[in-house]
Structure 1
Amino acid sequence: MTSAIPGSELHRVHAFLSDFDRRQAARTVDFPGGFAAFDDAYPLSRGNNHVLVDGETDAEALPARTEELMGHLPYRHAHVLDEAVAAACLGPMSRAGYQHTASLLMCHTGPVEARGGAREVDLDALRGPVTASWHRIAPQAAPEHVHDLVERRAARLRGAEVVRFLASYGPAGEVAAWADLYLDPASGVAQIEDLVTDGAHLGQGHAGAVLDTALRLAADAGCTTRFLTARVNDWPRRWYARKGFETIGTMSRFGRPEVSDGPRFRTA
């Protein structure tokens, strides 16, 4: 089904994602058509250490370029924003041993609720619940890996003009669901990221409360482009569709299994 959302929305989302990566990174290395983003404070987080292709690039050169740029890390990871560029990169990256996955880029087109019921929290409030969620999602994860996946949220504060952490609370005062909200009022773009429900609170409406709150805050900030990412083959994309999100494109990821001693599981 063809999206009724103008193509300009996809360009705005791409620009936001690229800018967020640059701002969040502790350091970047540019190359034709993209850059590598690094943060030595979180070496086991692929979300903070990867190659991002945000323009036209030499697809045949991307495997060697990724190898050169990420040679100090035990994994290789590249994101490609444009679908046509990703299609050109698929052959060279596959031949080099990379596995391809894609995430949907979904824009909100439905009504915005008057209020959601979640509230803004700080990093300390999320540390315990996020740590527990990673132990549930990746029980084989080494302690140092979980540390990076939890503490990297601090780096996200650099990524956008306004960054808010939202949470819905259970009846005993415990954090039941949470998400990040990144706002750029100047461009009118907002991203909702990392929406997670604690395992003991599934099916109780907490994720909806967090999502509704994020959408309301984004709308109040003047952000008419409100988006999130969802895995192509995961059930949340259908829930997001029911909440008024429409797919406008995909973002590709190319990952290669660890090439030296390191954690042997998929990182985020």
Structure 2
Amino acid sequence: MSTPVLQQVDAFLSGFARRQAERIVELPGGFAVLDETFGHSRMNNQIYIDAPVAPEALPAVADEVLGHLPHRLITVLDDAIAEACAEELARAGYSRSAYLVMVHEGPVPPDGRAAERVDLDALRTPLTRLWRAALPDVEDEVVRHLVDRRAARRRGGIVHFLAARTPEGEIASWADFYLDPERGIAQIEDLCTAPDQLRKGYADVVLGTALRLAADGGCGTRFLTADAADWPRRWYERRGFSAVGRFSCFERD
């Protein structure tokens, strides 16, 4: 059953996706976001389902709207709708991944070491290294799209890139930070740490800074999303985050 906080988060995710899109196609039960500038980015070229939909129609709709792309990605924000669609999409060859919506319910970290706001240029080198390590066989253009797609996120609203540096000035950890003071909600997204800087506290610096900025901006709802099957969810739980719901991504190559 959807709670008011989860409804607020789902509305934020839908609205942000719409605003950052280069082009939107309205669909029964949702919409597609498309961005030719970052055609290799699945995040920027996918379908969102945020209302009841006929499951049997989804595979054909995805083929029609995303047919010019080598992938299919459908994000279903409501868990009950995702359950209703799962069998039909599995028959059509889609795999399913579940993601938790985690809301910060602990105390805001006290003032301490702070991350800084940086521009995209400052993140290009560490982001490129991470993507190249994760996708060693893809073309350089694919990596470039995955790095530069962050530029489109600025269309979504108030967006900051936060980073913590080593004493030598190298960026060690970073994250996106989306802020909507009018609606009292903030999201922390893509918190990453360079592999050689793990377990040194840099991610805590970035996360703590984001939480303080959100609280200072009047955002009582502070959330992030985490892979339901991966270890970071436990790391977030130890820092005051609790799962309030989940959504699903259905994907097919």
TM-score if structure 2 supplies the norm length?
Answer: 0.97
Of 62, 82, 88, 2:58 maps to 62
Is it true that 1:140 corresponds to 2:150 in the alignment? no
Three-state SS of the structure 1 residue aligned to 2:156 is coil
Q: Which moves more between the two structures, 128-137 or 150-159? A: 128-137
Could you list the per-position Cα deviations for residues 155-206 of structure 1 after superposition, in whole angstroms to 9, with x for gaps in the alignment? 000112x110000001110000000000011111111001000011000000
Is it true that 1:256 corresponds to 2:241 in the alignment? no
Is it true that 1:45 corresponds to 2:41 in the alignment? yes
Shift of 1:58: 1.1
CA distance, structure 2, for counterparts of residue 60 and residue 111 of structure 1: 45
Could you list the per-position Cα deviations for residues 195-250 of structure 1 after superposition, in whole angstroms to 9, with x for gaps in the alignment? 00001100000001000000100111111111101101111000000000000111
Q: CA RMSD in A?
A: 1.2
Three-state SS of the structure 1 residue aligned to 2:17 is helix
Query: Which residue of the partner structure matches residue 218 of structure 1?
Result: 214
Is it true that 1:123 corresponds to 2:120 in the alignment? yes
Query: Which residue of the partner structure matches residue 172 of structure 2?
Result: 176
Is it true that 1:203 corresponds to 2:202 in the alignment? no
What amino acid sits opposite 1:74 in the alignment? Answer: P
Name structure 1 gaps, 5 residues minimum. Answer: 258-268
Three-state SS of the structure 1 residue aligned to 2:142 is helix
Of 79, 90, 108, 1:94 maps to 90
Query: Which residue of the partner structure matches residue 163 of structure 2?
Result: 167
Shift of 1:251: 1.0
Shift of 1:90: 0.3
Sequence identity of aligned pairs in percent?
53
CA distance, structure 2, for counterparts of residue 141 and residue 173 of structure 1: 30
Could you list the per-position Cα deviations for residues 6-37 of structure 1 after superposition, in whole angstroms to 9, with x for gaps in the alignment? 91000000000000000010000001210000
Q: Say how many residue pairs are matched.
A: 252
